[in-house]
Amino acid sequence: MKIRKLVVGTVLSLGLFASGVVVGQNVSPHRYPNLFAAQSFIEQAIDKISVAQRENEFDLGGHGNRAKDLLNQAYQEVKLASRAEGHR
C-alpha cells in the first residue's frame, strides 16, 4: 500500500513539476544569473527528494511530497520575481 502511495505521489508531483518547468523556465541566465541559479538549485532539490523517496521505497511520511510541492511553489515565485524585476 505504501509503494502505491509513493508511485501515485511521485507521478503527480513529477507531472506538476514538469508542467511548471515547461511553462515556467523563463528566467534568463544572462539577465538574472542569481535567479537562474536559484531555479537550478530548486530543480536539483526536487530531484534529490525523488531519489530519496525511490531509494527508501516509501513516501517519507508524506513530507517528501509536501517538500516538493513547496519547492514547486518556490520555483514559480522565482519566475515571477524575474518578471517583476523586468518591469521596473
Average pLDDT, the chain: 80
Domain ranges of the chain: 2-86
Q: Which long-range contacts (CB under 8 A, 24 or more apart) does 47-52 make?
A: 50/10, 50/13, 50/14
pTM metric for this prediction: 0.67
Angle between helices 2-24 and 33-56 (to 10 degrees): 160
Among the residue ranges 10-14, 40-44, 45-49, 80-84, the one predicted with the least confidence is 10-14
Q: Give residue-wise pLDDT tens across range 18-65.
A: 544 434 457 999 999 999 999 999 999 999 999 999 998 777 889 999
